[in-house]
Structures are given as C-alpha cells and as structure tokens.
Amino acid sequence: MIAKRKKVLVALSGGVDSSIAVALLLEAGFDCTAVFMITSDQAKNAQDDARVVAGKLGIKLHILDLRQDFERILDYFCSEYRKGRTPNPCVFCNRYDFPLLPISPVCLLQILTVTTKLSLPF
C-alpha cells in the first residue's frame, strides 16, 4: 500500500487519462504537482487543457518547453528511417527524461511514474 500524503510529480497532458490519474491520486490522499511538456507548436490547446485541469483540481502546474529537444529526437528518427533503418527514438529520448523536469522547484518531491496501466491500491 502506498502511504498517504506522499508527494507525487505527475505528467499532465490535459487529456482524460492523465487527468483521471491525478484525480485518483488526490482522492487517495496524495499531494500532487503536475508538469506539462510542450513538444510542438500545436500543443497550445493541450497546454490550455492542462491548465484548466490543474486549476480545477487545485494543483500546481509546471510548463516545460521541450520543442527543440523533441525536434532533435524526431530529426534523428526520420533520418534513420530514410536510411532504411528501424530507429528506436526511446533510446535517444530517454536521456532527456529527468534532467529536464523541474526538480529545483519541487526538489523535495518523491517522483513516481504514474500511468493508467498502474493499478493503484484503492
């Protein structure tokens, strides 16, 4: 069983899955902080949705602009694919995960990865 009132950093896309995950965590007694990652110029609507969700749920939301990093990852993927290779962008992308998260403002948080595939004990 996960202890109550633990602090959790959750990736919030503004969509149904991540919004429900945050709501369930709050309902279970967790102290949630959210992060939204901008990966393209088309992310404005999703960013607005994430802000609305965070506001309604009463949680802090950090916005990270990762467009340049994401573009480099996609450029690598497309370049390899054009060469007839089957690239794995996850290998390249994984090096960006934690250094880009807003660790300094939330340095006391215990970071947990929460997805809708995780069975929460409540």
Task: Give the DSSP per-residue string, 54-81.
Answer: HHHHT-EEEEEE-HHHHHHHHHHHHHHH
Tokens encoding 121: 């004990």
Residue 65: predicted pLDDT: 86
If one counts every other C-beta atom within 10 angstroms of the C-beta of residue 91, the result is 9
Residue 53: predicted pLDDT: 96
CATH number where 89 lies: 3.40.50.620
pLDDT mean values, one per 10 residues, the chain (122 residues): 71 90 91 89 89 96 85 82 82 57 37 39 42
Has residue 59 been placed in a domain? yes
The count of structural domains within the chain is: 1
Residue 3: predicted pLDDT: 52
Q: Which amino acid is at 50?
A: A
Residue 94: predicted pLDDT: 62
Has residue 101 been placed in a domain? no
Give kind and range of the element (H or E) at residue 91: helix 89-93
Residue 89: predicted pLDDT: 67
Residue 114: predicted pLDDT: 39
Q: What is the pTM of this model?
A: 0.67
Has residue 65 been placed in a domain? yes
Has residue 111 been placed in a domain? no
**Domain boundaries, position 85:** 7-96
Please provide residue 107's backbone torsions phi and psi, each rounded to the nearest 5 degrees.
Answer: -65, -20
What do you get for the CA distance between the two ends of the chain, in Å? 9
Has residue 73 been placed in a domain? yes
